[in-house]
Amino acid sequence: MLDVSAERLAELKSKGFLFMKDKEHFVVRIILPAGMATSDELKKIAYVADKYAEGKVVVTVRLNAEIPGIKYENVEPMMKEMEELGLVYGGTNVGVRPLVCCKGTVCKFGLIDTQKLCKELHDEFFEAPLPHKFKINITGCPNNCAKVQLNDLAFMGSPKNTLRVFIGGRFGRQSIIGEEICKIPYESAKDVTNVCLDFFKAHGKAKQRFGDLLNEMKDTTEYKEFIEKLKGFTVQQ
Ligand code: SF4
């Protein structure tokens, strides 16, 4: 077993290098905004996987790339070279996690440009510091391939370039089905996200997920004001 302190492992985890179950190697998460990569970026990922690991790349369920099998002595040189190559790694800390969207941009059922919206929200909010992890999803139509009800905040494409907003979902050891709150114009997605993150920052506790916070505060004035604020973005049709 590798002899590295728990503090160092935590530091590396916060930077996207996770200790593997063999307790010898690391796996690094490389961020693919909106689940997309250019052929040039894919070549760079393949290059660092060959040079610093075992030549394997895994696509995660949240559409990022992970390279397993990195020896500890390769961690720092790999970080340096990935930075030089413009590969972004991380997304494993508290705060806004890598955003996920379905392929609604090209899918025949897509009612909105999911990848464009996902990239815009990624650029604005990815890794924004919060009391706990926060997952944002975008799905292009009611077929719901990206499963909006299982995320802290999610948008579902709706006709006339509008978005149905869901909040408070989570999935894992404990699951909560997110609640649909309102339907907004596409252009209001950033403002709605800001309102949700501000509420979480103001009231959330460490290790408390957004859905648990909302359930805890359901009878408070602050919660009611928060919901009214979100409903204030409702599209006028
Ligand atoms: S949710 Fe709709 S738009 Fe997105 S991939 Fe599924 S069918 Fe296509």
Residue extents of the structural domains in the chain: 6-85, 95-231
Q: Is the pLDDT of residue 92 over 90?
A: no
The CATH fold assigned to 95-231 is Sulfite Reductase Hemoprotein; domain 1 (3.30.413)
With 0-12 / 13-18 / 19 or more C-beta atoms within 10 angstroms meaning exposed / middle / buried, residue 173 is exposed
146 CA from centroid of ligand 1 (Å):
8
CATH number of 6-85: 3.30.70.3340
Q: Is the shortest distance between the CB of 144 and ligand 1 below 6 Å? A: yes
CA-based Rg of the chain, rounded to a whole angstrom? Answer: 19
| Residue 122 DSSP one-character state | H
Q: Which residue, among 221, 226, 209, 206, has the nearest Cα to 174 in the 3D structure?
A: 209
Probe residue for ligand 1, chosen from 107, 116, 138 as the CB with the greatest number of ligand atoms within 8 Å: 107
- Residue 105 Cβ inside 6 Å of ligand 1? The answer reads no
Asked if pLDDT for residue 30 goes beyond 90, the answer is: yes
Specify the residue with its C-alpha closest to ligand 1, atom 6.
145
Q: Is 102 in the pocket of ligand 1 (CB under 6 A)?
A: yes
Distances (CA, A) of 144 to 87, 102, 115, 162: 30, 8, 15, 15
User: Would the CB of 9 count as within 6 Å of ligand 1?
Assistant: no
pLDDT tens sequence across 169-181 = 999 988 999 999 9
Query: Cα(43) to centroid of ligand 1, in Å?
Result: 28
Q: What is the pTM of this model?
A: 0.93
